[in-house]
Chains A and B, each alone.
Chain A
């Protein structure tokens, strides 16, 4: 799935990845460090909650080797990955930026009262 097809809209982009929405499948796509995952909205939110729940400070101050990584699962997607600390921060950045973008769209829909908003 390409993010520049006519039915897709780029939501957020960082140096490490990007997210986009597909209006044909009603899915959100996440590309991060070479991985691509497709989410339903609720699964995307659950994934974001999981990533945001990681205690970054605790990871920094805990010197044991197994705290250098955090295993994140997305059970519905058969996805398991070990993220290093800085990857987690980058992923968080991307997910939270996407959430902001989605909320902004939602707000515009509500305020403008139209079912479709074209931003680009």
Chain B
């Protein structure tokens, strides 16, 4: 008797489920950043708004990359549905704290998938996911740097907010 399942896909069901869940999480991250971009825009922080719009695009790319991978290896990628995301923030600092929290949650989820891949002996998917491990190191570093800038620049000084907006937007790009 032929192994029709294996002939169709190299993905085990639990890995396929975990990857689809990650697609959803990246999609949620994209929507969260979009809402943050809008809030920043509305409050005059045009540089960090642009920074967040870019983050939002990147998160969509992250999700799409996994989405395509699932289909490439014979699984079924499922279009994620995303619920309400936070639209209102008390301050600019609160936005960047939420961003760091979100990145930490993503890192944890990525690590869990890598663990699952090892347990399932799915080394191809593990290899694929290592890109995300590296990416998360960078994402957390950037999110942390933003909060560090709040310690270095006093938001309540005359040009503090203006300066924070400019400096945070530069994170991750060569000066």
Contact = CB atoms under 8 A, between A and B. Distances in A.
Given A42-B74, A45-B76, A103-B13, A119 B5 contact: no
A105 B2 CA distance: 9
A26 B7 contact: yes
A45 B76 CA distance: 9
Contacts of B174: none
Given A41-B8, A42-B8, A118 B1 contact: yes
B75 to A, nearest CB: 9
B151 interface: no
Contacts of B13: 103
B4 interface: yes
A42 B9 CA distance: 9
Interface stretch (A58-66, A68-76, A109-117): A109-117
B4 A109 contact: no
Contact of B1 (A9, A40, A45, A46): A9
A23 B7 CA distance: 12
> Which of B4, B7, B74 has the most chain A CB atoms closer than 10 A to its own CB?
B4
Interface string B49-77: 00000000000000000000000001010
B13 to A, nearest CB: 7
A119 B76 contact: no
B1 A105 contact: yes
Q: How large is the interface on B (under 10, 10 to 19, 20 to 34, 35 or more residues)?
A: 10 to 19
B84 interface: no
Contacts of B3: 105-106, 109, 115, 117
Interface string A26-58: 101000000000001110011001000000000
A42 B76 contact: yes
Given A9-B1, A23-B1, A103-B13, A109 B6 contact: yes
Nearest to B1: A9
A26 B76 CA distance: 19
B74 A117 contact: no
Given A46-B76, A103-B13, A41 B5 contact: yes
Contact of A102 (B5, B74, B76): B5
Interface string B1-36: 111111111000100000000000000000000000
A109 to B, nearest CB: 4
Interface of B: 1-9, 13, 74, 76
Given A103-B5, A103-B13, 17 more contacts: A9-B1, A21-B1, A26-B7, A28-B4, A45-B76, A46-B76, A49-B76, A102-B4, A105-B3, A106-B5, A106-B6, A109-B3, A110-B6, A115-B3, A116-B2, A117-B1, A117-B3
4 smallest beta-carbon distances between A and B, as pairs: A109-B3, A41-B8, A9-B1, A106-B5
